[in-house]
Amino acid sequence: MSEADKVFAGSIPENYDRLMVPLIFESYARDIAQRVATLAPKSVLETAAGSGVVTRALASVLSPDAGYVVTDLNQPMLDYAKAKHGADSRIRWQTADAQALPFEDAAFDLVCCQFGAMFFPDRPSGYREAKRVLRPGGYFLFNVWDRIEENVFADDVTNALATSLAGTSQSAPNFWLNPKNGVSYNMTAQTPEYKLDTLEALQNLPVTSLTGGGSAQVLGGLSRISRSQGSAVVTHYNILPTIDLFAATQDRDMGAVSRDVQKVIDANTKYLPRGATVTLRGQVVTMNTAFSGLFYGLLAAVVLIGLGVLFLLHTMGFWFFSVERFWPVILIGIGAWQIARRRGMMGSSYGANYGVRGRSYVGPVVLLTLGTLFLIQSFDGPGFHRTWPLLLLVIGVTKLWESQTSNPEGRDGVPPISGGPESGDPVSGEVQPPTEVNRG
C-alpha cells in the first residue's frame, strides 16, 4: 500500500463522517449490518472500517457474546471511529492492511468490508487474506460500486464535471438543424476556461442531478480536491503499461528516420531493466509491412517462375536438374534471408520486435546449417548420419552467443560509459544512460 493511501489525518476523519457518511455510506452500512445479523456470527472481522459507520450499525445487532475486531489502514480514522462509538467490551480496534492481515488462519466466522475492496491495489491478495482468516464455512461480505451509469451519486458528479470542463457534447448532446442549408450544428454549453483558473473555482462547480431531483450541491462539499502530478498520456499495450514517446518526420522520409531511431534503440537496449522493452510502432510498422509484403510477393513470384522454367528445361532434356542439390540451396537461402531480416538488413520492422536482444537466431541458423550439411552430402561428401553433431554444436554456440548479448555485464545496474557523442546527435552513437532519475 502506498504512503498516499495512508494519509487520512487532521480534520479529514470528522469531515468525512459528517459529510460523506450521511450522503453515501449510511444506508449501505445498515444493509450490510442486516445481512450479517441473519448469519449470527460469533467472531467478526471488519476491514477498511473508515470512520466506523458499519461498526456502529453492526454492533447494535451482534449478540452480547460475539467478538468483533475492527481494522483500518489509517490510524486517525480508526481513532475517530473508536472515540465516536464509545466503550464496548466486544470490540477490539487494530490497524491492519486488508492485503496482509496480522491474524491467524481460521480465526473468524465472518469478514465484512464496505466500499474498500475496489481500492485494494492487489485485490486478489485481499481476497486470499479474507479466505485465510475465515473458518471453514465462514462468510465474506463486501459491497462495491456498480457501473457509474448505475451509481446516481457518482454519475451526477461525473456529468457535472464533464459538462463544466468538456461541455455538454458528452453528457447531453444537442444539435441545431439550419433550415437554410440543411446542416446540423453541435450545440454545446460549457463553463468558460478563464473562469476555472483556481482550485476554489473548481470546488464551486454546481453538481445537479440529471433527473431533476434534489437540491444542487457544490463539488467542494462532495469531494476533496488537491493538486498532484501525473502522466499526461496513460496507455497500455495489451495489459502492459507503456510510456509513449511520439515522433514525427520533417524534411526526411519515414524509412530513413525509422532506421535511425532503431539504431538508437538497439544501441541502448542493454541498459534496460529486466522485463522492459523498447519497441518502434506506429505508421512505420504499417509501411514496413506493406513494402515487405510487396517485396516477398515479388520474390516468391520470381522463385516460382524460375522453378517452373527449370523443371520445363529438365523435362525437355536441355538441362539436368538435381533435386537433391536444389532443396538444400533453398534452405540456405531461407536461413540467410531470415538472419538478414533479424539484423535489420532488409528494411523491415523485425529489428524492432525480434532481433533487439538476439533471441531469435536459432531457427534461421538451423535452416542454414541443415542446408549446408545436405548440400555437402549431395556432392558425395559425408552423410548427415555422420555430420549431425555439427548441427548440435552450431545450436549450442548460437545459444551461448545469445545469452552473452542479451545479458551484458552490469545489466541490473547501468554500467558507466566513457566517451559518447559529445555533439548530441542521437543517431551517431550510444545515448549516455541515466545515473539518476528526477521524478519531481
Q: What is the mean pLDDT of residues 153-175?
A: 77
Check: CB of residue 13 under 8 Å from CB of residue 77: yes
Give yes or no: residues 282 and 318 share one domain.
yes
Q: Does residue 71 carry a pLDDT above 90? A: yes
For residue 197, the domain's CATH number is: 3.30.2090.10
Please state, as a whole number, how many other Cβ atoms lie within 10 Å of the Cβ of residue 34: 12
Domain annotation covers residue 309: yes
Give yes or no: residues 45 and 89 share one domain.
yes
pLDDT range class, residue 108, cuts 50, 70, 90: very high
| CA atoms of 39 and 139, how far apart (whole Å) | 9
Domain annotation covers residue 419: no
3-state secondary structure of 27: helix
> Which residues 6+ apart lie within 8 Å of 39 measured at CB?
109, 110, 139
Containing structural domain, residue 300: 240-406
Pick 374 or 57 by higher pLDDT: 57
Q: Does residue 291 carry a pLDDT above 80? A: yes
Q: What is the mean pLDDT of residues 358-378?
A: 80
Give yes or no: residues 250 and 203 share one domain.
no
Give yes or no: residues 379 and 267 share one domain.
yes
Q: What is the mean pLDDT of residues 358-381?
A: 80
Domain annotation covers residue 319: yes
| CA atoms of 232 and 230, how far apart (whole Å) | 6
**Cell 536459432, residue?**
362
pLDDT value at residue 321? 58
**pLDDT tens-digit readout, 292-340:** 888 878 888 887 887 788 777 777 776 665 666 777 878 888 888 778 7
Give yes or no: residues 369 and 314 share one domain.
yes
As a whole-number percent, the residues of the chain with pLDDT over 70 amount to 79
Give yes or no: residues 261 and 139 share one domain.
no
Q: What are the angstrom distances between the C-alpha of 34 and each of 30, 39, 46, 226, 278? A: 6, 9, 15, 37, 54
Give yes or no: residues 29 and 99 share one domain.
yes
Q: What is the mean pLDDT of residues 419-436?
A: 40
Q: What is the mean pLDDT of residues 62-66?
A: 92
